[in-house]
Homo-oligomer: A and B are copies of this chain.
Amino acid sequence: MTTAGNTARPRGRIDKQQAILAAAFAVFARSGYAQTRMDQIAAEAGVAKATVYSHFGDKEQVFRHAVQALSDAALESNLAVVEQLADPGADLGATLRSVGAELIRCYCSPESRALRRLVCAEAAQFPGLTETMDEVSGRVVRALADRLARLALTGTLRIDDPDLAAAQWAALLTGPLRARYKFGAEPLPDAEVQAVSAGAVTTFLAAFGH
């Protein structure tokens, strides 16, 4: 129903929904919740303001939908990266470094930073928002834990508590990053990515390797 639509009108509605959501993503990410005007969203979506209302009810709903969509996307790309651990190859260290680097890049992508800013900013006013975020990182860490558990099973790693190990690896990857890369607009230098990932792997293997 979403993609078929070769007859003229049935898709109009859905197209507009999508356009509105896309516009909302963009504007909220750019300006934050409070700074965002419904007019901007409508304009960027190419529809009338009232149309936005008839689709989503009010500003808060538009926001929640936008955040949800950003979260879904972020979750998906993170999981895709984690999946690369399914087949670690010969050089475990190298694989960990590469996957770690990609996780860092996901974590610092413009979309992720924007999402983090939005959630963080509105955590107080929008109950349930932090839960959404916990959900995302929780599922990523769990997926990571799954992979690590497999590697422990095969004896590649020496892990008692895969959840803890996963959480700590994630922490070692994202913790040392400067705030300006986590929240700010500054582009993340590749050297930083490599260094942090390498450092994380060294410590991680010292604790969980052989």
Residue positions of A touching B, CB distance < 8 A: 30-35, 116-117, 119-125, 130-131, 133-134, 137-138, 164, 167-168, 170-172, 174-176, 178-180, 183-185, 199-200, 202-203, 206-208
Q: A124 to B117, Cβ gap below 8 A?
A: yes
Q: B180 to A134, Cβ gap below 8 A?
A: yes
Residue from B120, B171, B176, B202 within 8 A of A183 (CB atoms): B120
Chain B residue at smallest Cβ distance from A165? B203
Q: A184 to B123, Cβ gap below 8 A?
A: yes
Question: What's the Cα separation between A208 and B199 when bound, in Å?
Answer: 13
Q: Known: A168-B203, A174-B171, A176-B168. Contact between A116 and B120, CB under 8 A?
A: yes
Residues of chain B lying within 8 A (CB to CB) of residue A179: 119, 123, 130, 133-134, 137
Question: What's the Cα separation between A98 and B207 when bound, in Å?
Answer: 21
Q: B30 to A32, Cβ gap below 8 A?
A: no
Residues of chain B lying within 8 A (CB to CB) of residue A184: 123, 130
Question: What's the Cα separation between A121 and B137 when bound, in Å?
Answer: 19
Question: What's the Cα separation between A121 and B124 when bound, in Å?
Answer: 11
Q: A119 to B34, Cβ gap below 8 A?
A: no
Residues of chain B lying within 8 A (CB to CB) of residue A207: 202-203, 206-207
Query: Which 6 residue pairs of A and B lie closest in terms of their CB atoms, listed nearest first?
Result: A171-B175, A121-B121, A34-B34, A206-B207, A120-B120, A167-B176
Question: What's the Cα separation between A121 and B120 when bound, in Å?
Answer: 6
Residues of chain B lying within 8 A (CB to CB) of residue A174: 171, 175
**Known interface pairs A120-B121, A167-B175, A167-B199; 14 further A-B residue pairs with C-beta atoms within 8 A, sorted by A's residue number:** A31-B125, A32-B34, A32-B121, A32-B124, A120-B183, A121-B122, A123-B179, A130-B179, A131-B180, A133-B183, A168-B172, A174-B175, A175-B175, A202-B207
